[in-house]
Each structure stands twice: as structure tokens, then as C-alpha cells.
Amino acid sequence: MAEVGKDINKAKHLLERGDLVAIPTETVYGLAGNALDIQAVTSIFKAKDRPEFDPLIVHVSSLEKVKRYCVGIPPKANELAEAFWPGPLTILLERKDVIPDLVTAGLPTVGIRCPNHPLTSQLLKTLDFPLAAPSANPFGYVSPTTPQHVQDQLGEKIPYILDGGRCEIGVESTIVGFPDDAGTIYRLGGLDIEEIEKVIGKVNFQLNISSNPRAPGQLQSHYAPGKKLYLGNIDELLAKFRKEDVGILSFQKDFHMKHQYILSRNGSLEEAAQHLFSSLRMLDNEPVSVILAELVPDVGLGKAINDRLRRAAGAR
């Protein structure tokens, strides 16, 4: 079992000697290691059982630090960082050679993010290297939003979980890159597209190219629970299964079932995002054989929630 605590110094010392530490962010927990140390980065891939073609996001304490690791930062990327960092936005930037190939899976760009969590911000400030940190879950599974989620799946593989409580946003960062001047969204996430477009104007989208994923977060089946998840009208789906076999994940409605989670009774998308991954985990652990779920309104954060639900339902 990993030790769980709020000791930033302990986290710092472990990271400095090349060990991994789970860190809290406002989106989900990350599995962090020194991004400049190939050994540490290798152990991240191993602990997650993650294929090496899937690049990692590098976390920094401020925009200033980015110049050490990246070149030719486009003006719009700068504007987004100024507007939304620290926050749930990852920006793909042209990397310098100090960033190992392994981190970016050989890509010329590196995903950079400045997370917004007091413990992790403080930790990043005390370190003289950035932290590579994918979500702290086994590859393909639902991301963790509490220290216990990390403990349940990776507790045997890491020495320390920095306890920052439950993640405030609950879905991963939005990923934007600049293959051209306009900017392209590669993953829907905690930062609303409308907010981004207010700052840099209309963006393009490249969300689902499962044949040649630039980001495996774009794979059709990802962020998935172990059980088969059916997405649709829950009343109609219920007619097709034995009641004892199903777990329900609804947005607002109470289906009065034994195994059900309601994302937000009052219809708040923020609350729904916060509860999404923990509800999927709980349903996965209950004695049901399938999960029936419905989409939420497709606006704002709802877009990221629906994206995760569709991927959770993706055929495996």
C-alpha cells in the first residue's frame, strides 16, 4: 500500500530520487515523475501498463518555466496560457531536446499544463524539474478523482500519494494544439470550448481518429469501467435487462433502483462532472453485470462528460 499524506517535502524527496508520487490536480489525480529523467518516465509507463506510443503531459508551475522546455510558442498559445493557467488546459507546444523522446512518444510537440491545486502548485515550485503525469489509473481505465481511487489500483506500485482531497473538476484537462494559426482541440475537458473561443476565436476539432490516434484519449474505447456500459434512454434500456443485473447512472432522474447513481439531482453539469468517474467506479464494484447510462445536456462541461460516457460505452 502507498502511504497517503499531505507532506510536500516527502513528495519532493521521492521525486528527486526518481520515484513516482500520485499528485492531486483540479481535474484528476496524476501519476507524477521527473519529466527529464528517463528512468522515472519509464516507471510511469510500467506502473500504468501504458503503451509507449501514448505521450505524457508535462506539468509546470508557471508559464515562465515553459520557455525552458519549448520553443516558438504561438501567440494564441500564450494568450490561452495567460488566460487560463493555472487551470484545466493542456497546450501542445514544440519541445526542446531536454524533453526526452519517451515523454512525447517521439512527437515534435509536448503537452504542457500548469495545474491549479494548492499542494501540487507548491510542490512544482520547489522542484527544479517539471513533472510528467498521466492520470493515475491503469491504461484505459477511468481516471481517479480521490486518493482512495489511486490507492485501489496503483497503491502497490508507488510509495506515496499526496492527498489533496477530491478533485474539484473531475474530468481531465482540455487539450489544444496549434498545427495552424487557428488552433485545434484534441480532447474535450474541464475547460469549456466557448471560454477558449472567447480568447482566440474559432478553433478546429480533431477529437476522434481511432485509426491513427494522436492522443489515445481519443481512442473510442477509453476512460472505461470494467463492466459493459450501455448508453441511451434509460427507461428503454431498462426494458431490455433483468432489473437485478443493472446499475444505473443517470443525470438527474431517480429511478428508485438499488444500484444507481444520480450525477446531479439539481442538474448542475459541474456537479455531474465531479461525480462522473467516482460513480462509474462504484458501479463497477457493485454486484451488477451491466451499467445503463444516459447523456447529459451537450453544452459547456456537458460536452466533456458526454465524450467520456461515449468512450466508456465504446466496444472493447
* Residues binding ligand TXA (CB under 6 A): 25, 27-28, 30, 54-57, 90, 92, 104, 107, 109-111, 113, 115, 133-135, 172-173, 175, 186, 214-217
Number of residues located near Mg ion, criterion CB under 5 A: 1
Partner from Mg ion, ligand TXA, none binding residue 28, C-beta < 5-8 Å depending on class: ligand TXA
Reading phi first (left if > 0) and then psi (alpha if -120 to 50, else beta), residue 133 is in beta
Measured CA to CA in angstroms, residue 95 lies from 70, 107, 154 at distances of 4, 9, 30
C-alpha span between 80 and 190 (Å, rounded): 14
Partner from Mg ion, ligand TXA, none binding residue 133, C-beta < 5-8 Å depending on class: ligand TXA
* For ligand TXA, the closer CB: 78 or 206: 206
- Radius of gyration of the chain, Cα coordinates, nearest whole angstrom: 19
Residue 218 touches Mg ion, criterion: CB under 5 A: no
C-alpha span between 144 and 153 (Å, rounded): 9
**Mask 107-146, x = binds Mg ion (CB under 5 A)?**
----------------------------x-----------
Shortest distance in whole angstroms from residue 141 CB to Mg ion: 8
**Per-residue burial over 141-173, b = 16 or more CB atoms within 10 Å of its CB, e = otherwise:** bbbbbbbbbbbebbbebbebbbbbeebbbbbbb
Residue 306 touches Mg ion, criterion: CB under 5 A: no
CA 13 to chain centre: 25
| Contact present, 259 and 283 (Cβ < 8 Å) | yes
Residue 279 touches Mg ion, criterion: CB under 5 A: no
* For Mg ion, the closer CB: 135 or 279: 135
Contact residues toward Mg ion (CB under 5 A) are 135
